[in-house]
Structure 1
Protein backbone atom coordinates (compact mmCIF):
# COMPACT_ATOMS: atom_id res chain seq x y z
CA UNK A 1 0.00 0.00 0.00
CA UNK A 2 1.03 3.60 -0.54
CA UNK A 3 2.52 4.73 2.74
CA UNK A 4 1.47 8.38 2.37
CA UNK A 5 -2.09 7.31 1.63
CA UNK A 6 -2.08 5.08 4.71
CA UNK A 7 -0.75 7.96 6.82
CA UNK A 8 -3.52 10.18 5.48
CA UNK A 9 -6.15 7.57 6.36
CA UNK A 10 -4.66 7.19 9.85
CA UNK A 11 -4.75 10.95 10.48
CA UNK A 12 -8.39 11.21 9.40
CA UNK A 13 -9.34 8.19 11.57
CA UNK A 14 -7.81 9.92 14.59
CA UNK A 15 -9.53 13.22 13.81
CA UNK A 16 -12.94 11.77 12.91
CA UNK A 17 -12.87 9.03 15.57
CA UNK A 18 -14.57 6.50 13.32
CA UNK A 19 -13.53 4.08 10.58
CA UNK A 20 -16.95 4.34 8.93
CA UNK A 21 -16.89 8.15 8.87
CA UNK A 22 -13.47 8.13 7.20
CA UNK A 23 -14.63 5.46 4.75
CA UNK A 24 -17.52 7.69 3.65
CA UNK A 25 -15.31 10.79 3.51
CA UNK A 26 -12.50 9.18 1.51
CA UNK A 27 -14.78 6.92 -0.54
CA UNK A 28 -13.19 3.72 0.73
CA UNK A 29 -14.68 0.60 2.24
CA UNK A 30 -14.49 0.17 5.99
CA UNK A 31 -12.33 -2.88 5.38
CA UNK A 32 -9.88 -0.86 3.30
CA UNK A 33 -9.60 1.76 6.04
CA UNK A 34 -8.70 -1.00 8.49
CA UNK A 35 -6.14 -2.45 6.07
CA UNK A 36 -4.38 0.92 5.81
CA UNK A 37 -4.07 1.07 9.61
CA UNK A 38 -2.86 -2.53 9.80
CA UNK A 39 -0.30 -1.87 7.06
CA UNK A 40 1.18 1.01 9.05
CA UNK A 41 1.25 -1.02 12.26
CA UNK A 42 2.95 -3.91 10.45
CA UNK A 43 5.53 -1.60 8.90
CA UNK A 44 6.25 0.11 12.23
CA UNK A 45 6.05 -3.04 14.31
CA UNK A 46 3.90 -1.34 16.94
CA UNK A 47 0.19 -0.82 17.59
CA UNK A 48 -1.21 2.64 16.82
CA UNK A 49 -4.82 2.28 17.96
CA UNK A 50 -6.56 0.43 20.76
CA UNK A 51 -10.00 -0.63 19.54
CA UNK A 52 -13.00 -2.09 21.33
CA UNK A 53 -16.56 -2.63 20.12
CA UNK A 54 -17.54 0.78 21.52
CA UNK A 55 -14.58 3.09 21.12
CA UNK A 56 -11.03 3.53 19.90
CA UNK A 57 -8.07 5.35 21.42
CA UNK A 58 -4.50 6.12 20.49
CA UNK A 59 -1.61 4.25 22.02
CA UNK A 60 1.22 6.39 23.41
CA UNK A 61 3.26 5.75 20.28
CA UNK A 62 0.17 6.30 18.12
CA UNK A 63 -0.31 9.76 19.60
CA UNK A 64 3.26 10.79 18.76
CA UNK A 65 3.03 9.19 15.32
CA UNK A 66 -0.21 11.07 14.60
CA UNK A 67 1.50 14.42 15.27
CA UNK A 68 4.38 13.46 12.96
CA UNK A 69 2.05 12.28 10.20
CA UNK A 70 0.01 15.47 10.41
CA UNK A 71 3.13 17.63 10.03
CA UNK A 72 4.47 15.55 7.13
CA UNK A 73 1.17 15.60 5.25
CA UNK A 74 0.73 19.34 5.87
CA UNK A 75 4.23 20.05 4.51
CA UNK A 76 3.52 18.00 1.40
CA UNK A 77 0.17 19.70 0.86
CA UNK A 78 1.69 23.14 1.34
CA UNK A 79 4.44 22.43 -1.18
CA UNK A 80 1.96 21.12 -3.74
CA UNK A 81 -0.32 24.08 -3.10
CA UNK A 82 2.47 26.53 -4.00
CA UNK A 83 3.19 24.62 -7.21
CA UNK A 84 -0.48 24.31 -8.17
CA UNK A 85 -1.00 28.04 -7.63
CA UNK A 86 1.30 28.71 -10.56
CA UNK A 87 -1.13 27.22 -13.05
CA UNK A 88 -4.52 26.53 -11.48
CA UNK A 89 -6.90 27.38 -8.66
CA UNK A 90 -5.62 26.84 -5.09
CA UNK A 91 -6.83 23.75 -3.28
CA UNK A 92 -6.22 21.97 -0.01
CA UNK A 93 -7.55 21.71 3.54
CA UNK A 94 -7.57 24.55 6.06
CA UNK A 95 -8.16 24.33 9.79
CA UNK A 96 -9.74 27.51 11.16
CA UNK A 97 -10.66 28.38 14.76
CA UNK A 98 -12.74 31.18 16.27
CA UNK A 99 -15.14 31.98 19.15
CA UNK A 100 -18.54 30.27 19.05
CA UNK A 101 -20.91 33.21 18.47
CA UNK A 102 -18.67 34.77 15.82
CA UNK A 103 -18.28 31.42 14.11
CA UNK A 104 -21.98 30.57 13.99
CA UNK A 105 -23.33 33.96 12.96
CA UNK A 106 -20.51 35.55 10.93
CA UNK A 107 -17.65 33.25 9.94
CA UNK A 108 -19.67 30.16 8.98
CA UNK A 109 -21.84 31.88 6.32
CA UNK A 110 -18.86 33.76 4.86
CA UNK A 111 -16.84 30.52 4.78
CA UNK A 112 -19.71 28.85 2.93
CA UNK A 113 -19.45 31.59 0.28
CA UNK A 114 -15.69 31.06 0.11
CA UNK A 115 -16.01 27.30 -0.42
CA UNK A 116 -18.65 27.89 -3.09
CA UNK A 117 -16.28 30.24 -4.91
CA UNK A 118 -13.31 27.86 -4.50
CA UNK A 119 -14.77 24.32 -4.68
CA UNK A 120 -11.37 22.60 -4.58
CA UNK A 121 -10.78 23.92 -1.07
CA UNK A 122 -11.95 22.10 2.07
CA UNK A 123 -12.09 23.48 5.61
CA UNK A 124 -12.35 22.30 9.21
CA UNK A 125 -13.98 24.99 11.37
CA UNK A 126 -13.35 24.72 15.13
CA UNK A 127 -15.67 26.82 17.31
CA UNK A 128 -14.54 27.34 20.89
CA UNK A 129 -14.45 30.13 23.46
CA UNK A 130 -11.43 28.52 25.13
CA UNK A 131 -7.85 29.61 24.52
CA UNK A 132 -6.20 27.43 21.87
CA UNK A 133 -2.58 26.96 20.84
CA UNK A 134 -2.42 27.26 17.05
CA UNK A 135 0.69 25.11 16.67
CA UNK A 136 -0.44 22.42 19.07
CA UNK A 137 -3.93 22.20 17.55
CA UNK A 138 -2.70 22.36 13.94
CA UNK A 139 -4.67 25.55 13.22
CA UNK A 140 -3.89 27.47 10.04
CA UNK A 141 -6.04 30.55 10.67
CA UNK A 142 -7.49 31.84 13.95
CA UNK A 143 -9.94 34.66 14.65
CA UNK A 144 -9.06 36.35 17.95
CA UNK A 145 -11.55 38.65 19.71
CA UNK A 146 -9.98 40.96 22.29
CA UNK A 147 -6.56 42.43 22.90
CA UNK A 148 -3.58 40.53 21.51
CA UNK A 149 -0.85 39.16 23.74
CA UNK A 150 2.41 37.41 22.82
CA UNK A 151 1.79 36.94 19.10
CA UNK A 152 5.46 35.91 18.63
CA UNK A 153 5.73 34.22 15.22
CA UNK A 154 2.16 35.10 14.26
CA UNK A 155 0.96 37.76 11.85
CA UNK A 156 -2.15 39.71 12.90
CA UNK A 157 -4.54 41.36 10.42
CA UNK A 158 -7.24 43.60 11.89
CA UNK A 159 -10.94 43.19 11.09
CA UNK A 160 -13.92 45.38 11.99
CA UNK A 161 -14.56 45.86 15.72
CA UNK A 162 -16.61 43.36 17.71
CA UNK A 163 -19.52 45.46 18.93
CA UNK A 164 -22.16 44.58 21.51
CA UNK A 165 -25.75 45.74 21.92
CA UNK A 166 -27.93 46.27 24.99
CA UNK A 167 -31.46 45.07 24.28
CA UNK A 168 -34.55 43.26 25.57
CA UNK A 169 -37.69 41.68 24.19
CA UNK A 170 -40.88 43.74 23.70
CA UNK A 171 -42.63 41.52 26.26
CA UNK A 172 -40.04 42.28 28.95
CA UNK A 173 -40.12 46.02 28.27
CA UNK A 174 -43.90 46.08 28.37
CA UNK A 175 -43.84 44.32 31.72
CA UNK A 176 -40.85 46.07 33.38
CA UNK A 177 -40.57 49.38 31.54
CA UNK A 178 -37.83 50.80 29.32
CA UNK A 179 -34.67 52.16 31.00
CA UNK A 180 -33.56 55.57 29.69
CA UNK A 181 -30.37 55.90 31.75
CA UNK A 182 -27.72 53.27 32.66
CA UNK A 183 -28.31 53.80 36.39
CA UNK A 184 -31.78 52.30 35.94
CA UNK A 185 -30.26 48.92 35.03
CA UNK A 186 -29.85 48.14 38.74
CA UNK A 187 -33.64 48.05 38.97
CA UNK A 188 -33.99 45.65 36.05
CA UNK A 189 -33.36 41.95 35.59
CA UNK A 190 -30.18 41.55 33.53
CA UNK A 191 -28.60 38.57 31.78
CA UNK A 192 -24.82 38.17 31.89
CA UNK A 193 -22.06 36.04 30.41
CA UNK A 194 -20.55 33.72 33.03
CA UNK A 195 -16.81 34.37 32.80
CA UNK A 196 -14.08 35.14 35.37
CA UNK A 197 -13.60 38.59 33.79
CA UNK A 198 -17.33 39.35 33.69
CA UNK A 199 -18.75 40.68 36.92
CA UNK A 200 -21.81 42.54 38.13
CA UNK A 201 -21.12 45.69 36.13
CA UNK A 202 -21.19 46.65 32.46
CA UNK A 203 -18.66 48.99 30.84
CA UNK A 204 -20.26 51.61 28.57
CA UNK A 205 -19.05 54.78 26.92
CA UNK A 206 -20.75 58.08 26.17
CA UNK A 207 -18.93 60.63 24.04
CA UNK A 208 -15.61 58.92 24.67
CA UNK A 209 -16.14 58.80 28.44
CA UNK A 210 -16.02 55.40 30.13
CA UNK A 211 -18.88 54.55 32.49
CA UNK A 212 -19.03 51.42 34.65
CA UNK A 213 -22.62 50.54 35.47
CA UNK A 214 -23.69 48.15 38.28
CA UNK A 215 -26.25 45.64 36.98
CA UNK A 216 -28.58 43.14 38.59
CA UNK A 217 -27.58 39.81 37.01
CA UNK A 218 -30.39 37.30 37.54
CA UNK A 219 -28.97 34.70 35.15
CA UNK A 220 -25.36 34.08 34.10
CA UNK A 221 -24.51 31.58 31.34
CA UNK A 222 -21.23 30.78 29.59
CA UNK A 223 -22.96 30.58 26.22
CA UNK A 224 -24.25 33.49 24.15
CA UNK A 225 -26.99 31.46 22.43
CA UNK A 226 -28.45 30.47 25.80
CA UNK A 227 -28.50 34.12 26.91
CA UNK A 228 -30.13 35.14 23.63
CA UNK A 229 -32.83 32.51 24.13
CA UNK A 230 -33.50 33.76 27.66
CA UNK A 231 -33.82 37.34 26.40
CA UNK A 232 -36.19 36.30 23.61
CA UNK A 233 -38.34 34.61 26.24
CA UNK A 234 -38.63 37.87 28.16
CA UNK A 235 -36.37 37.08 31.11
CA UNK A 236 -34.42 40.34 31.14
CA UNK A 237 -32.04 42.83 29.55
CA UNK A 238 -29.11 41.49 27.56
CA UNK A 239 -25.72 42.84 26.46
CA UNK A 240 -24.24 40.56 23.79
CA UNK A 241 -22.37 40.79 20.45
CA UNK A 242 -24.17 42.39 17.53
CA UNK A 243 -23.30 39.41 15.29
CA UNK A 244 -25.34 37.18 17.61
CA UNK A 245 -28.38 39.48 17.83
CA UNK A 246 -28.47 41.21 14.42
CA UNK A 247 -31.36 39.24 12.93
CA UNK A 248 -33.44 39.48 16.14
CA UNK A 249 -32.92 43.25 16.13
CA UNK A 250 -33.87 43.49 12.44
CA UNK A 251 -37.03 41.47 13.00
CA UNK A 252 -38.03 43.39 16.15
CA UNK A 253 -37.78 40.34 18.38
CA UNK A 254 -35.30 42.34 20.49
CA UNK A 255 -35.36 46.12 21.00
CA UNK A 256 -32.08 48.10 21.33
CA UNK A 257 -31.78 50.19 24.50
CA UNK A 258 -29.74 53.17 25.72
CA UNK A 259 -28.52 54.25 22.25
CA UNK A 260 -26.40 57.09 23.70
CA UNK A 261 -24.43 54.63 25.86
CA UNK A 262 -22.44 52.13 23.80
CA UNK A 263 -20.80 48.95 25.13
CA UNK A 264 -17.04 48.93 24.62
CA UNK A 265 -16.10 47.42 21.26
CA UNK A 266 -13.38 44.75 21.16
CA UNK A 267 -10.66 44.46 18.51
CA UNK A 268 -10.77 41.46 16.17
CA UNK A 269 -7.74 40.01 14.37
CA UNK A 270 -6.98 37.22 11.93
CA UNK A 271 -3.89 35.31 13.06
CA UNK A 272 -1.65 33.26 10.78
CA UNK A 273 1.89 31.91 11.07
CA UNK A 274 4.48 34.25 9.57
CA UNK A 275 6.20 31.47 7.63
CA UNK A 276 2.93 30.16 6.16
CA UNK A 277 0.86 33.27 5.48
CA UNK A 278 1.81 33.39 1.79
CA UNK A 279 0.64 29.84 1.07
CA UNK A 280 -2.05 30.26 -1.61
CA UNK A 281 -4.81 28.52 0.37
CA UNK A 282 -4.16 30.65 3.47
CA UNK A 283 -3.62 33.92 1.62
CA UNK A 284 -6.80 33.39 -0.42
CA UNK A 285 -8.95 32.70 2.65
CA UNK A 286 -7.51 35.58 4.68
CA UNK A 287 -8.04 38.02 1.79
CA UNK A 288 -11.62 36.79 1.48
CA UNK A 289 -12.28 37.46 5.18
CA UNK A 290 -10.64 40.89 5.01
CA UNK A 291 -12.87 41.79 2.09
CA UNK A 292 -16.07 40.74 3.89
CA UNK A 293 -15.26 41.97 7.40
CA UNK A 294 -13.37 45.19 6.71
CA UNK A 295 -16.26 47.53 7.68
CA UNK A 296 -18.61 45.36 9.74
CA UNK A 297 -18.90 41.84 11.14
CA UNK A 298 -22.68 41.78 10.64
CA UNK A 299 -23.81 40.15 7.41
CA UNK A 300 -26.69 41.88 5.69
CA UNK A 301 -29.12 39.71 3.78
CA UNK A 302 -30.20 40.41 0.26
Structure 2
Protein backbone atom coordinates (compact mmCIF):
# COMPACT_ATOMS: atom_id res chain seq x y z
CA UNK A 1 0.00 0.00 0.00
CA UNK A 2 1.39 3.38 -0.99
CA UNK A 3 2.01 6.00 1.67
CA UNK A 4 -0.64 8.70 1.26
CA UNK A 5 1.60 11.62 2.29
CA UNK A 6 4.13 10.54 -0.32
CA UNK A 7 1.34 10.30 -2.89
CA UNK A 8 0.24 13.83 -1.98
CA UNK A 9 3.80 15.09 -2.50
CA UNK A 10 3.92 13.37 -5.89
CA UNK A 11 0.52 14.84 -6.81
CA UNK A 12 1.65 18.37 -5.93
CA UNK A 13 4.78 17.91 -8.05
CA UNK A 14 2.65 16.74 -10.99
CA UNK A 15 0.60 19.93 -10.65
CA UNK A 16 3.76 22.07 -10.46
CA UNK A 17 5.70 20.41 -13.30
CA UNK A 18 2.83 19.40 -15.56
CA UNK A 19 3.85 15.88 -16.56
CA UNK A 20 4.55 12.48 -15.06
CA UNK A 21 7.90 12.28 -16.88
CA UNK A 22 9.14 15.56 -15.39
CA UNK A 23 8.09 14.48 -11.89
CA UNK A 24 9.70 11.09 -12.33
CA UNK A 25 13.00 12.75 -13.23
CA UNK A 26 12.77 15.27 -10.37
CA UNK A 27 11.87 12.69 -7.69
CA UNK A 28 13.99 9.84 -9.07
CA UNK A 29 10.94 7.64 -9.70
CA UNK A 30 9.71 5.81 -12.75
CA UNK A 31 6.78 7.39 -14.67
CA UNK A 32 4.84 4.23 -13.87
CA UNK A 33 5.35 4.79 -10.12
CA UNK A 34 4.23 8.41 -10.45
CA UNK A 35 1.06 7.19 -12.16
CA UNK A 36 0.48 4.63 -9.38
CA UNK A 37 0.61 7.37 -6.73
CA UNK A 38 -1.99 9.44 -8.60
CA UNK A 39 -4.19 6.41 -9.21
CA UNK A 40 -4.01 5.45 -5.52
CA UNK A 41 -5.26 8.90 -4.51
CA UNK A 42 -8.05 8.80 -7.09
CA UNK A 43 -9.17 5.35 -5.89
CA UNK A 44 -9.16 6.54 -2.30
CA UNK A 45 -11.22 9.63 -3.17
CA UNK A 46 -13.44 8.00 -5.76
CA UNK A 47 -12.86 10.94 -8.09
CA UNK A 48 -10.55 11.93 -10.91
CA UNK A 49 -7.92 14.51 -9.99
CA UNK A 50 -6.32 15.09 -13.40
CA UNK A 51 -7.36 15.37 -17.02
CA UNK A 52 -4.73 13.26 -18.75
CA UNK A 53 -3.37 13.89 -22.25
CA UNK A 54 -0.35 12.41 -23.99
CA UNK A 55 1.77 15.49 -23.19
CA UNK A 56 0.47 17.25 -20.07
CA UNK A 57 -1.87 16.90 -17.14
CA UNK A 58 -4.47 19.47 -16.06
CA UNK A 59 -6.49 19.63 -12.87
CA UNK A 60 -10.15 18.74 -12.55
CA UNK A 61 -12.19 20.93 -10.21
CA UNK A 62 -11.88 18.22 -7.55
CA UNK A 63 -8.15 18.08 -8.21
CA UNK A 64 -7.78 21.82 -7.72
CA UNK A 65 -9.55 21.73 -4.35
CA UNK A 66 -7.67 18.62 -3.28
CA UNK A 67 -4.31 20.17 -4.25
CA UNK A 68 -5.00 23.14 -1.95
CA UNK A 69 -5.71 20.79 0.93
CA UNK A 70 -2.63 18.69 0.18
CA UNK A 71 -0.46 21.78 0.67
CA UNK A 72 -2.07 22.35 4.08
CA UNK A 73 -1.74 18.70 5.10
CA UNK A 74 1.95 18.56 4.17
CA UNK A 75 2.68 21.82 5.98
CA UNK A 76 0.92 20.42 9.04
CA UNK A 77 3.01 17.24 8.78
CA UNK A 78 6.20 19.32 8.53
CA UNK A 79 5.10 21.33 11.57
CA UNK A 80 4.53 18.09 13.48
CA UNK A 81 8.02 16.94 12.52
CA UNK A 82 9.40 20.27 13.74
CA UNK A 83 7.61 19.89 17.06
CA UNK A 84 9.07 16.42 17.45
CA UNK A 85 12.52 17.76 16.57
CA UNK A 86 12.00 20.46 19.17
CA UNK A 87 11.85 17.84 21.89
CA UNK A 88 15.11 16.37 20.61
CA UNK A 89 16.77 19.77 20.45
CA UNK A 90 18.45 19.16 17.07
CA UNK A 91 18.25 21.96 14.47
CA UNK A 92 16.89 20.36 11.30
CA UNK A 93 14.36 20.93 8.56
CA UNK A 94 13.62 23.72 6.11
CA UNK A 95 13.62 27.35 7.24
CA UNK A 96 11.83 29.85 5.00
CA UNK A 97 13.56 33.25 5.18
CA UNK A 98 12.99 36.55 3.35
CA UNK A 99 15.95 38.95 3.09
CA UNK A 100 16.50 42.36 1.39
CA UNK A 101 18.25 41.97 -1.96
CA UNK A 102 21.52 43.88 -1.49
CA UNK A 103 21.99 42.80 2.13
CA UNK A 104 21.25 39.22 1.07
CA UNK A 105 23.73 39.13 -1.78
CA UNK A 106 26.47 41.00 0.06
CA UNK A 107 26.66 39.75 3.64
CA UNK A 108 23.81 37.31 4.31
CA UNK A 109 24.97 34.63 1.86
CA UNK A 110 28.42 34.34 3.53
CA UNK A 111 26.63 34.09 6.90
CA UNK A 112 24.38 31.37 5.46
CA UNK A 113 27.39 29.46 4.15
CA UNK A 114 28.99 29.40 7.61
CA UNK A 115 25.67 28.60 9.30
CA UNK A 116 25.11 25.51 7.17
CA UNK A 117 28.61 24.26 7.90
CA UNK A 118 27.70 24.24 11.60
CA UNK A 119 24.12 23.01 11.16
CA UNK A 120 24.10 20.79 8.06
CA UNK A 121 20.62 19.41 8.76
CA UNK A 122 19.02 22.84 8.28
CA UNK A 123 17.97 23.71 4.73
CA UNK A 124 16.95 27.20 3.61
CA UNK A 125 14.18 28.38 1.33
CA UNK A 126 15.53 31.86 0.66
CA UNK A 127 13.62 34.76 -0.89
CA UNK A 128 15.46 37.95 -1.85
CA UNK A 129 13.10 40.93 -2.11
CA UNK A 130 12.96 44.58 -1.16
CA UNK A 131 9.18 44.45 -0.78
CA UNK A 132 7.67 44.69 2.70
CA UNK A 133 7.19 41.08 3.74
CA UNK A 134 5.18 39.99 6.78
CA UNK A 135 6.40 36.83 8.53
CA UNK A 136 2.84 35.56 9.12
CA UNK A 137 0.84 36.60 6.08
CA UNK A 138 3.54 35.85 3.52
CA UNK A 139 4.42 32.40 4.80
CA UNK A 140 8.00 33.00 5.97
CA UNK A 141 9.29 31.87 9.35
CA UNK A 142 11.82 34.68 9.53
CA UNK A 143 12.05 38.04 7.76
CA UNK A 144 14.83 40.63 7.72
CA UNK A 145 13.41 44.08 7.11
CA UNK A 146 15.01 47.49 6.59
CA UNK A 147 13.30 50.65 7.83
CA UNK A 148 10.95 51.62 10.60
CA UNK A 149 8.59 48.92 11.81
CA UNK A 150 4.83 49.20 11.71
CA UNK A 151 3.38 50.28 15.06
CA UNK A 152 0.75 47.51 14.87
CA UNK A 153 3.21 44.76 13.96
CA UNK A 154 2.36 41.54 15.80
CA UNK A 155 5.60 39.71 14.99
CA UNK A 156 8.53 39.50 17.40
CA UNK A 157 11.33 41.87 16.33
CA UNK A 158 15.03 41.75 17.09
CA UNK A 159 17.36 44.64 16.14
CA UNK A 160 20.29 43.94 13.84
CA UNK A 161 23.24 46.01 12.63
CA UNK A 162 21.90 49.20 11.07
CA UNK A 163 21.84 49.50 7.28
CA UNK A 164 24.71 51.91 6.62
CA UNK A 165 24.90 53.85 3.35
CA UNK A 166 27.45 55.93 1.44
CA UNK A 167 27.40 58.15 -1.65
CA UNK A 168 29.83 57.55 -4.48
CA UNK A 169 30.51 57.88 -8.20
CA UNK A 170 33.29 57.04 -10.65
CA UNK A 171 36.29 59.32 -11.04
CA UNK A 172 35.33 59.74 -14.70
CA UNK A 173 31.87 61.03 -13.79
CA UNK A 174 33.29 63.46 -11.23
CA UNK A 175 35.88 64.79 -13.69
CA UNK A 176 33.12 65.51 -16.21
CA UNK A 177 30.51 66.94 -13.84
CA UNK A 178 32.44 68.19 -10.82
CA UNK A 179 32.59 66.98 -7.22
CA UNK A 180 29.61 67.93 -5.01
CA UNK A 181 30.80 69.87 -1.96
CA UNK A 182 27.45 70.20 -0.20
CA UNK A 183 24.27 68.09 -0.28
CA UNK A 184 22.53 70.90 -2.15
CA UNK A 185 25.04 70.49 -5.00
CA UNK A 186 23.39 67.14 -5.79
CA UNK A 187 20.47 68.97 -7.40
CA UNK A 188 22.82 69.78 -10.30
CA UNK A 189 23.88 66.15 -10.80
CA UNK A 190 22.55 62.96 -12.31
CA UNK A 191 21.59 60.82 -9.32
CA UNK A 192 20.69 57.14 -9.60
CA UNK A 193 17.18 56.90 -8.19
CA UNK A 194 15.94 53.87 -6.28
CA UNK A 195 12.25 53.03 -6.58
CA UNK A 196 10.45 51.14 -3.82
CA UNK A 197 6.81 50.09 -3.50
CA UNK A 198 5.84 53.70 -2.74
CA UNK A 199 7.54 55.07 -5.86
CA UNK A 200 10.90 56.72 -6.63
CA UNK A 201 12.89 57.91 -3.61
CA UNK A 202 13.66 61.48 -4.68
CA UNK A 203 14.95 62.93 -1.38
CA UNK A 204 18.31 62.15 0.24
CA UNK A 205 18.98 63.19 3.83
CA UNK A 206 22.26 64.26 5.49
CA UNK A 207 23.45 65.47 8.86
CA UNK A 208 26.57 67.08 10.31
CA UNK A 209 26.58 67.88 14.02
CA UNK A 210 23.29 69.63 14.71
CA UNK A 211 22.73 70.46 11.04
CA UNK A 212 20.37 68.34 8.94
CA UNK A 213 19.66 68.57 5.24
CA UNK A 214 17.07 66.89 3.02
CA UNK A 215 17.68 67.59 -0.64
CA UNK A 216 15.65 66.69 -3.73
CA UNK A 217 17.49 64.54 -6.24
CA UNK A 218 16.69 63.42 -9.76
CA UNK A 219 18.24 61.47 -12.58
CA UNK A 220 17.64 59.72 -15.87
CA UNK A 221 17.93 56.22 -14.41
CA UNK A 222 15.29 54.98 -11.98
CA UNK A 223 15.11 51.34 -10.91
CA UNK A 224 13.69 49.10 -8.21
CA UNK A 225 16.77 46.86 -8.55
CA UNK A 226 19.75 48.14 -6.59
CA UNK A 227 22.14 46.02 -8.67
CA UNK A 228 21.03 47.94 -11.79
CA UNK A 229 21.87 51.24 -10.07
CA UNK A 230 25.19 49.80 -8.90
CA UNK A 231 26.09 48.83 -12.48
CA UNK A 232 25.02 52.25 -13.73
CA UNK A 233 27.29 53.93 -11.18
CA UNK A 234 30.24 51.81 -12.31
CA UNK A 235 29.47 52.79 -15.91
CA UNK A 236 29.80 56.45 -14.93
CA UNK A 237 26.10 57.25 -15.37
CA UNK A 238 25.56 59.06 -12.09
CA UNK A 239 25.89 59.33 -8.33
CA UNK A 240 24.83 56.37 -6.21
CA UNK A 241 23.49 56.17 -2.67
CA UNK A 242 24.03 52.56 -1.65
CA UNK A 243 24.75 49.96 1.01
CA UNK A 244 28.29 50.48 2.32
CA UNK A 245 29.37 46.79 2.54
CA UNK A 246 28.28 46.29 -1.07
CA UNK A 247 30.26 49.31 -2.31
CA UNK A 248 33.31 49.10 -0.05
CA UNK A 249 35.41 46.78 -2.30
CA UNK A 250 35.04 49.16 -5.24
CA UNK A 251 35.71 52.21 -3.07
CA UNK A 252 38.88 50.51 -1.83
CA UNK A 253 40.10 49.69 -5.35
CA UNK A 254 39.02 53.19 -6.50
CA UNK A 255 36.50 51.99 -9.07
CA UNK A 256 34.15 54.25 -7.12
CA UNK A 257 35.01 57.42 -5.20
CA UNK A 258 33.22 58.26 -1.98
CA UNK A 259 31.84 61.80 -1.93
CA UNK A 260 30.32 64.11 0.72
CA UNK A 261 32.20 62.07 3.33
CA UNK A 262 32.15 65.04 5.72
CA UNK A 263 28.37 64.60 5.91
CA UNK A 264 26.63 61.69 7.65
CA UNK A 265 23.85 59.77 5.96
CA UNK A 266 21.38 58.53 8.60
CA UNK A 267 21.54 54.77 9.05
CA UNK A 268 18.36 52.82 8.43
CA UNK A 269 17.22 50.44 11.16
CA UNK A 270 17.22 46.74 10.32
CA UNK A 271 15.30 44.05 12.21
CA UNK A 272 14.78 40.32 12.23
CA UNK A 273 11.07 39.45 12.47
CA UNK A 274 9.43 36.15 13.23
CA UNK A 275 5.92 35.08 14.08
CA UNK A 276 4.98 35.74 17.70
CA UNK A 277 2.69 32.73 17.66
CA UNK A 278 5.14 30.30 16.12
CA UNK A 279 6.83 27.50 18.02
CA UNK A 280 10.52 28.24 18.53
CA UNK A 281 11.88 25.12 16.90
CA UNK A 282 15.62 24.47 17.23
CA UNK A 283 16.22 25.59 13.63
CA UNK A 284 14.50 28.95 14.23
CA UNK A 285 15.98 29.45 17.69
CA UNK A 286 19.56 28.86 16.58
CA UNK A 287 19.02 31.00 13.46
CA UNK A 288 17.81 33.94 15.57
CA UNK A 289 20.74 33.54 17.99
CA UNK A 290 23.41 33.23 15.30
CA UNK A 291 22.04 36.08 13.22
CA UNK A 292 22.03 38.46 16.19
CA UNK A 293 25.60 37.46 17.00
CA UNK A 294 26.74 37.98 13.41
CA UNK A 295 24.93 41.32 13.00
CA UNK A 296 24.73 42.93 16.46
CA UNK A 297 22.87 46.26 16.79
Instruction: Report TM bin, short chain.
Output: 0.7 to 0.9
**Aligned partners of 2:248, 2:54: CA distance in 1, in Å?**
46
TM-score by length of 1: 0.83
Q: How does 1:199-214 map to 2 (within 5 A)?
A: 199-214=201-216
**Aligned partners of 1:250, 1:53: CA distance in 2, in Å?**
59
Aligned match of 1:266: 268
**Aligned partners of 1:71, 1:65: CA distance in 2, in Å?**
10
**Aligned partners of 1:187, 1:35: CA distance in 2, in Å?**
69
Q: CA deviation at 1:52?
A: 6.9
Instruction: Give the alignment partner of residue 289 of structure 1, picking from 288, 291, 297.
Output: 291
Does 2:252 correspond to 1:240?
no
Count of paired positions: 295
* Pair 1:88–1:264, CA change in 2 (3 A): closer
TM-score by length of 2: 0.84
Does 2:196 correspond to 1:192?
no
Q: CA deviation at 1:98?
A: 2.0
Q: Deviations over 1:138-174 (max 9, x none)?
A: 2111111111115544111111111221111122123
Aligned match of 1:116: 117
Q: How does 1:1-302 map to 2 (within 5 A)?
A: 1-11=2-12, 23=24, 26-48=27-49, 62=63, 64-87=65-88, 89-149=90-150, 152-195=153-196, 196-295=198-297
* Pair 1:260–1:152, CA change in 2 (3 A): same
When structure 1 is superposed on structure 2, of 10-19 and 86-95 the one drifting more is: 10-19
Larger Rg: 2
**Aligned partners of 2:170, 2:57: CA distance in 1, in Å?**
47
Q: CA deviation at 1:12?
A: 5.1
SS at match of 1:149: coil
Alpha carbons 1:142, 1:272 under 8 Å: kept:
yes
Q: CA deviation at 1:10?
A: 3.8
Alpha carbon RMSD of aligned pairs, Å?
Answer: 3.0
